[in-house]
Amino acid sequence: MQFDERQFHPFLTEKEISTLVDSLAEKINADFGINDRLLLVGVLKGAFPVMADLIRRLHSDVEVDFVRAANHGKSLQGPGTVTLLKDISVDVKNRHVIIVEEIIDSGRTLQFLHDRLKAAKPLSLKIATLLDKKSKRLVNLHADYVGKVVDDQFLIGYGLDLEEKCRNLPEIHALKYPN
């Protein structure tokens, strides 16, 4: 067993996650045309399941790429330091770009990635996230496509990890007693 079931309770079933991804795709499909050649940039590692499920629901031509960032100083109130461990390998200039995340917490990681991609002059730049811990935001960052706003709690499964485990759980579980 990957996690102690006594410490977690079921939070979102596979079906519920699927419905949230449907809603993300519906909004994106409404905003972009078939010929818009979207570039989806997934934030590793956690975003790969939602990325895989999302692209299969999109009607536009889709290209995918991935970035990986590390957020040091998460508990600090200061600006924190986000470093890039893997950059994108596609020219975003004149492309419609959507950054794809599984969850936003402080927003620091995405603010860093958003500013970096913005500087490369995309035609448009949006943020899609399956989950949003909106109350935890430490920076002014707005997500354009949000599956579900969630309370401040520790979640695992569907890409979300507990020290690198549990990403492969098909459903999402929440920690009962945050310490």
Catalytic residues: 105
Give which of 143, 111, 139, 115 is closest to 130, Cα–Cα: 143
Q: How far apart are CA 126 and CA 21, in angstroms?
A: 16
Quote the strand ranges of 58-150, DSSP E: 62-72, 81-86, 96-104, 124-132, 145-149
Residue 107: contacted member of Mg ion, ligand IMP, none (CB under 5 to 8 Å, by partner type): ligand IMP
Contact with ligand IMP (CB under 6 A) among 42, 49, 107, 122? 107
Q: How far is the CB of 170 from ligand IMP (least distance, A)?
A: 16
Distance from C-alpha of 75 to C-alpha of 150, rounded to nearest angstrom: 19
Name which of residues 18 to 57 contact Mg ion (CB under 5 A).
43, 46
Min dist. Cβ of residue 104 to ligand IMP (A):
5
Q: Which residue has the tokens 């410490």?
A: 7
Instruction: Please give the residue ranges that form the binding site for Mg ion (CB under 5 A).
Output: 43, 46
Instruction: Please give the residue ranges that form the binding site for ligand IMP (CB under 6 A).
Output: 43, 46, 71, 101, 103-110, 154-155, 160-161
